[in-house]
C-alpha cells in the first residue's frame, strides 16, 4: 500500500473526452449527408451547394458550444456521474441543440430538409454518448481515467457505497481500501481495512487519491472530523455519501437556508401524479404493440412447441396487482400438466427442497419443468404473453415483481409501496441478479423502484433487461 501505481491524469482525460464529443458531433452531419446521398443519389436537392459550406461551419460552431456546455455547465469532463444519469443529460442537451438548429434554419431562411435534420440529430444522439463511453473505457484500460479511492467507513453505508461504485465502471473510481479506526474486520470485499491514520496521509502523498466519507448516520461526528482533517491536509478530492437509505432521491429538489446548516429535500411521489401514470400507460401501450408485432412469429412457434404434450400453451396464475387487485398473469406453460401434484409430493418427501421453496417460493432444480420450459425460462420467453396483461392494464412493462397473495406479508412496511404500482414484466430485481438475490433484497428493489420512478428509469431498465436476458444472468 506504500507505493500505489497512480496513472490518473485528469487534464488528459478532459481533452480526450472533449475531442471525442467534438469529432462525433460533427461526423453526425456528414453521416446524414451520406445517408441522403445513398438513398436519393444526390445531396444538392436537400442542401444547395452555395449553402453547404455555411451549414458545415454552423454545425461546427454548434458542436463547440455543445462541448463547452458539457464541460463548463454540466461538468461532464470534470465530475464523475453515473452512466444513465449522464446519458440523460446528453440526450436532453442534444435535443435542445437540435431544436435550436431548427430555429436557426427558419431564421436564416436556409433550405430545410427534414431528412438531413432527422438523420443528423439521430446520429448525434447515438454517436456522441456511445463514443464518449468507449473513450472512457479505453482511458480506463490505460489507467488514466481510474482514480485511486479510499472509502472512510466500514458499516452498511460504506459497503453500499462500494457496491454502487463497482456497478458503475465508467465512473472510474478504483477503490483500493476502506478506512476505519474502529473497524472489527481486517478485510471488506477482499480489500484491506486501514486502521492507522498515518497510512492515509502516506497514501495521499503518493498521488491524487479520492476520499469518500460513508459513515453511518449515527457517526456524524466522524464525518465532521474527517472533513476537517482532509481539508487541513489539502485533500481536494472528497465525496460525502449521506446515509439516506430508504428515501426517494430521484427528482428530489435540494435547497439550503442561508447561514444555517439546514438542507431541505423536497420529495416527490411521481407515480401519485395522474400525468405520470398517463405517460407510463402510453409508453406501455405503444411499446407493447411494437414488441407484439415483432415477436408474433416467435410466439406462434412457441405456442406450437408448448402444446405438443397435449396441454394448454398459456396459463394464467393469480398475482397481486395495483391496490391489491388479483389478476391472471399470463405465461407460456413451462411445467408438466400435473405440476401441483408433483410439487406437493416433492415438498412432502424432500426437506431440502421444502426449505428452499419456503425461503423464496422457487426451486433451482424444479422437476416440474419440461425440456421446452427450461429453455423458455432461461431465455425469459415464457413471459412474452404478459404483453397482453400490459395491454389490458393489469401490468406494466416495468414495475415490481408479480407476486402471489401469500408473499405480501413478507413485504412488511414496504407493502404499501408495492401496492402503489402495477407489477412489471421486468424491473429492477430482474436486472440486479434476478433469482440469485435473496428475498429481502427483492423487496428493497421493488420499493426503491416505486419511490424513485421516472420514465427514464423505465427506459434504462428495459435496455438493461435486454443485456441480462441475452446473458441469461440469474435465470432458472
Mean pLDDT computed over 56-60: 95
Mean pLDDT computed over 328-356: 81
Q: Picking from 67-71, 321-325, 350-354, which range would have the lowest pLDDT averaged per residue? A: 350-354
DSSP for 364-429? TT-TTB-HHHHHHHHTTGGGTTHHHHHHHTS-EEE-SPP--GGGGGGGGGGHHHHTTS--EEE-TT
Cα separation, 94 vs 75, in Å, equals 15
For 174, which DSSP code? E
- pLDDT-derived band at 233 (thresholds 50, 70, 90) equals confident
For 267, which DSSP code? -
Quote the Cα angle for 254-86-121, to 5°: 125
What's the 3-state SS for 310-355?
CCCCEEEEEEECHHHCEEEEEEECCECCCHHHHHHHHHHHCHHHHH
β-strand partners of 178: 151, 193
- pLDDT-derived band at 473 (thresholds 50, 70, 90) equals low
Q: What is the pLDDT of residue 253?
A: 79
Specify the DSSP element, H or E, that contains 305.
helix 274-306
- pLDDT-derived band at 247 (thresholds 50, 70, 90) equals confident
More confidently predicted of 18 and 360: 18
Which residue's C-alpha cell is 435535443? 95
- CA-wise closest residue to 422 among 288, 310, 332: 288
CB atoms within 10 A of CB 98: 18
What tens digit of pLDDT does each residue of 461-470 get?
999 988 888 7
Cα separation, 438 vs 435, in Å, equals 8
Q: What is the pLDDT of residue 101?
A: 94
In the predicted model, is pLDDT for residue 472 greater than 70? Answer: no
User: Residues with Cβ < 8 Å from 245, sequence gap 6 or more?
Assistant: 156, 157, 160
Q: What is the pLDDT of residue 456?
A: 93
In the predicted model, is pLDDT for residue 340 greater than 80? Answer: no
Which domains are delineated in the chain?
A: 10-142 (no CATH), 147-245 (3.40.50.720), 272-334+369-471 (no CATH)
In the predicted model, is pLDDT for residue 387 greater than 70? Answer: yes
In the predicted model, is pLDDT for residue 429 greater than 90? Answer: no
- CA-wise closest residue to 414 among 450, 366, 389, 383: 450
Mean pLDDT computed over 355-382: 80
Q: What is the pLDDT of residue 374?
A: 84
More confidently predicted of 191 and 475: 191
DSSP for 428-463? TTTTTTGGGS-HHHHHHHHHHHHHT--HHHHHHHHH
Computed from CA positions of residues 423, 424, 430, 434, in that sequence, does the dihedral angle turn out positive or negative?
Answer: positive
368: Cα within 13 Å, side-chain hemisphere: 19
Q: What is the pLDDT of residue 406?
A: 87
Amino acid at each position: 500500500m506504500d507505493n500505489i501505481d497512480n496513472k490518473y491524469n485528469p487534464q488528459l482525460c478532459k481533452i480526450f473526452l472533449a475531442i471525442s464529443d467534438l469529432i462525433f458531433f460533427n461526423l453526425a452531419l456528414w453521416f446524414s449527408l451520406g445517408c441522403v446521398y445513398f438513398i436519393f443519389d444526390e445531396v444538392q436537392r436537400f442542401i444547395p451547394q452555395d449553402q453547404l459550406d455555411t451549414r458545415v461551419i454552423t454545425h461546427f460552431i454548434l458542436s463547440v458550444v455543445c462541448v463547452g456546455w458539457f464541460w463548463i455547465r454540466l461538468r461532464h469532463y470534470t465530475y464523475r456521474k453515473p452512466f444513465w444519469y449522464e446519458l440523460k443529460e446528453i440526450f436532453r442537451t442534444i435535443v435542445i441543440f437540435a431544436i435550436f438548429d431548427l430555429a436557426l434554419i427558419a431564421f436564416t431562411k436556409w433550405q430545410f430538409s427534414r431528412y438531413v435534420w432527422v438523420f443528423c440529430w439521430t446520429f448525434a444522439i447515438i454517436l456522441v454518448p456511445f463514443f464518449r463511453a468507449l473513450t472512457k473505457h479505453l482511458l480506463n484500460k490505460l489507467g488514466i481515467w481510474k482514480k485511486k479511492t479510499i472509502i472512510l467507513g466500514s458499516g452498511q453505508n460504506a459497503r453500499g457505497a462500494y457496491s454502487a461504485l463497482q456497478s458503475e465502471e465508467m465512473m472510474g473510481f478504483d477503490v483500493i481500501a476502506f478506512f476505519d479506526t474502529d473497524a472489527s474486520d481486517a478485510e471488506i470485499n477482499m480489500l484491506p481495512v486501514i486502521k492507522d491514520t498515518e497510512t492515509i496521509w502516506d497514501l495521499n502523498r503518493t498521488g491524487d487519491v479520492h476520499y469518500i466519507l460513508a459513515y453511518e448516520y449515527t457517526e456524524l461526528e466522524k464525518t465532521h472530523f474527517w472533513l476537517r482533517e482532509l481539508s487541513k491536509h489539502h485533500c481536494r478530492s472528497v465525496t460525502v455519501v449521506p446515509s439516506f437509505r430508504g428515501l426517494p432521491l430521484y427528482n428530489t429538489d435540494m435547497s439550503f437556508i442561508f447561514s444555517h446548516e439546514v438542507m431541505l429535500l423536497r420529495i416527490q411521489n411521481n407515480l401519485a401524479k395522474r400525468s405520470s401514470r398517463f405517460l407510463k400507460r402510453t409508453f406501455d401501450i405503444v411499446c407493447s404493440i411494437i414488441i407484439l408485432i415483432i415477436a408474433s412469429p416467435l410466439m406462434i412457434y412457441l405456442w406450437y412447441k408448448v402444446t405438443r404434450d397435449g396441454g394448454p400453451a398459456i396459463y394464467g396464475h393469480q398475482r397481486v396487482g395495483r391496490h391489491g387487485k388479483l389478476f391472471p398473469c399470463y405465461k407460456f406453460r413451462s411445467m408438466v400438466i400435473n405440476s401441483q401434484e408433483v410439487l406437493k409430493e416433492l415438498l412432502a418427501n424432500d426437506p431440502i427442497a421444502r426449505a428452499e421453496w419456503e425461503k423464496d417460493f422457487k426451486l433451482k432444480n424444479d422437476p416440474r419443468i419440461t425440456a421446452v420450459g427450461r429453455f423458455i425460462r432461461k431465455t425469459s420467453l415464457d413471459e412474452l404473453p404478459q404483453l397482453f396483461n400490459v395491454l389490458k392494464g393489469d401490468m406494466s412493462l416495468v414495475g415490481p415483481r408479480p407476486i402471489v397473495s401469500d408473499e405480501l406479508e413478507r413485504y412488511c412496511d414496504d407493502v404499501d409501496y408495492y401496492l402503489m404500482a402495477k407489477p412489471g414484466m421486468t424491473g429492477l430485481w430482474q436486472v440486479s441478479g434476478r433469482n440469485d438475490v435473496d428475498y429481502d433484497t427483492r423487496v428493497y428493489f421493488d420499493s426503491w423502484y416505486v419511490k424513485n420512478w421516472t420514465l427514464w428509469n423505465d427506459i434504462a431498465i428495459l435496455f438493461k433487461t435486454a443485456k441480462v436476458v441475452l446473458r441469461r444472468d440469474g435465470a432458472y
